[in-house]
Amino acid sequence: MIQPIDKTLMPSIQDKLDNLNKPKGSLGRLESLAMQISLIQHTVHPHLEHPCHILFGSDHGIEREGVSASPREVTWQQMINYGRGGGGVNVLCRQHGFSLRIVDVGVDYVLDSSTYAHIISRKIGYGTRNFRYEAAMSREEWKKALSVGAEQVEACFHEGCNVLSLGEMAIGNTSPSSILMHLFTTIPLERCVGAGSGLNEDGVRHKLRILQESLVRYDTIKREQDEEYTDVTDTIRHFAGYEMAAAIGAMLRAAELKMVILVDGFIMTACMLAASKMDSAIMDYAVFGHCGDEGGHKLMLEAMGAQPLLHLGLRLGEGTGAICAYPIVVSAVNLLNEMDNFSHAKITKYF
């Protein structure tokens, strides 16, 4: 169970911030970020160690309905590409010193460990089922995916990691993310649906129609199988992909371990939204890296009360936006720890 952050140190942290040799509050968002990380770690001397990035890969049954501009095979092709170091996520992990873990939880391709040693094999199935007609995954598969996410976080934690980012590779996963956004925020579905990997206007209209039909079918299934839909997790597993479920499991476990969680774009924000419906305390540990250009992301962030650090027009996924934001997190911690104070620097405190 996630423990809400202990706020007893807040006055001490605020006093430290206010006595740095600067105008009060002049570091803006960096000050609130430093406060959050200090509270997560329950110290006035926070530190960031061994940043890790976990990328989960999977495929979606709903992709068969033509809701993505990219074909299914791009999932496994990109997973292999990451192992060669050629992805955007690889470049940013190298630049910012992140350890990268690539995990197959449901890619529709044989990625055997002997051939692709860089990929951690935790395959639950060769893609989820098509939620236009049935639940994407069973309760057992849902639990397996959660446990995969938790397992990967624990491996990072035992390596000394206390700051984690998450990403995904899964063609079609803006569709379940849009539906979860709609269901958990009550924002109209048409405002939650965007172009994904590059749909044109006709493509977006088709995608919206498929998702609307899927929601009608979901309501029917819920009535017919009432005993199978008893809580929020049943809603999530009906639509989410294995990679999304693994990311949710990772987020929940990271918060239990009091790690800083860097949240990426539309997909990972939808996962954090879903995780917050399972345990609202998780939001204490979330740092939202950026606001992407996928339709609905800004609205979802606003509905969650989240303040992203960047807006760079990104919509790549993979966790790239979260990693790009990491230097800002480092700056917040370093300023708190290394900036001199009025007394020691012998500067008149003018407020």
pLDDT at 126 over 90: yes
pLDDT at 198 over 90: no
pLDDT at 113 over 90: no
Cα–Cα distance, 173 to 123 (Å, whole number): 17
Say if 199 falls within a structural domain. Answer: yes
Same domain, 221 and 323: yes
Same domain, 77 and 209: yes
pLDDT at 161 over 90: yes
CA 289 to chain CA centroid, nearest Å: 9
Total number of domains in the chain: 2
Give the CA-trace dihedral at 48, 50, 51, 55, to 10 degrees.
-160
Same domain, 221 and 308: yes
Cα–Cα distance, 168 to 244 (Å, whole number): 8
Secondary structure in 3-state letters for 8-37:
CCHHHHHHHHHCECCCCCCCCHHHHHHHHH
Say if 292 falls within a structural domain. Answer: yes
Per-residue confidence band for 348, with pLDDT thresholds at 50, 70 and 90: confident
Say if 238 falls within a structural domain. Answer: yes
Q: Provide the pLDDT for residue 71.
A: 94
Q: Which of 174-178, 269-273, 294-298 has the lowest mean pLDDT?
A: 294-298
Same domain, 42 and 89: no
Q: Measured at the alpha carbon of residue 58, what is the angle toward residues 57 and 63, in degrees to the nearest 5?
A: 135
pLDDT at 28 over 90: yes
Say if 184 falls within a structural domain. Answer: yes
Q: Provide the pLDDT for residue 228.
A: 86
Per-residue confidence band for 349, with pLDDT thresholds at 50, 70 and 90: confident
Same domain, 21 and 113: no
Q: List, edge to edge, every strand of the sheet that includes 260-263.
A: 119-121, 99-106, 52-58, 163-169, 260-263, 286-288
Q: Provide the pLDDT for residue 141.
A: 98
Quote the tokens at residue 216.
Answer: 């009608």
Same domain, 93 and 28: no
Report the percentage of the chain scoring pLDDT > 90: 92
Say if 288 falls within a structural domain. Answer: yes
Q: What is the per-residue pLDDT across 251-290, written as a single tens digit (0 to 9) for each? A: 999 999 999 999 999 999 999 999 999 999 999 999 999 9
Same domain, 180 and 205: yes
Return all residues near 319 (Cβ < 8 A) that are at least 6 apart.
53, 55, 89, 165, 166, 167, 168, 264, 268
Say if 222 falls within a structural domain. Answer: yes
pLDDT at 295 over 90: no
Q: What mean pLDDT is predicted for residues 23-34?
A: 96
Q: What mean pLDDT is predicted for residues 161-176?
A: 97
Say if 271 falls within a structural domain. Answer: yes
Helices marked H in the chain? 10-18, 29-41, 73-83, 88-96, 139-158, 174-185, 189-192, 201-224, 232-239, 242-256, 266-278, 297-304, 320-338, 342-345
Largest CA distance in the chain: 73
Say if 126 falls within a structural domain. Answer: yes
Q: What is the per-residue pLDDT across 312-345, written as a single tens digit (0 to 9) for each? A: 999 899 999 999 999 999 999 999 999 999 888 8
Cα–Cα distance, 249 to 344 (Å, whole number): 45
pLDDT at 196 over 90: no
Q: What mean pLDDT is predicted for residues 61-68?
A: 96
338 assigned to active site:
no
Give pTM, 2 decimals: 0.97
**What CATH number does the domain containing 141 carry?**
3.40.50.10210
Same domain, 23 and 144: no
Q: Provide the pLDDT for residue 27.
A: 97
Catalytic residue among 63, 168, 243, 318: 318
String of DSSP letters for 31-88? HHHHHHHHHHHTSSS----S-EEEEEEE--GGGGGS--SS-THHHHHHHHHHHTT-SH
Q: Provide the pLDDT for residue 350.
A: 83
pLDDT at 80 over 90: yes
Q: Provide the pLDDT for residue 302.
A: 97
Quote the tokens at residue 290.
Answer: 């950026």
The residue segments making up the domain with residue 206 are 52-328
Contact predicate 106/125, CB 8 Å: yes
Q: What is the per-residue pLDDT across 237-254, written as a single tens digit (0 to 9) for each? A: 999 999 999 999 999 999
Q: Classify residue 158 as exposed, middle or buried by CB count within 10 Å of its CB (0-12, 13-18, 19+).
A: exposed
Q: Indicate left, alpha or beta for 254 from its phi (over 0: left) and psi (-120 to 50: alpha).
A: alpha
- Mean pLDDT taken over the chain: 96
Phi, psi of 78 (to 5 degrees): -70, -35
Return all residues near 282 (Cβ < 8 A) that are at least 6 apart.
2, 251, 252, 255, 261, 272, 275, 276
Q: Provide the pLDDT for residue 106.
A: 98
Report the percentage of the chain scoring pLDDT > 70: 100
Q: Provide the pLDDT for residue 46.
A: 98
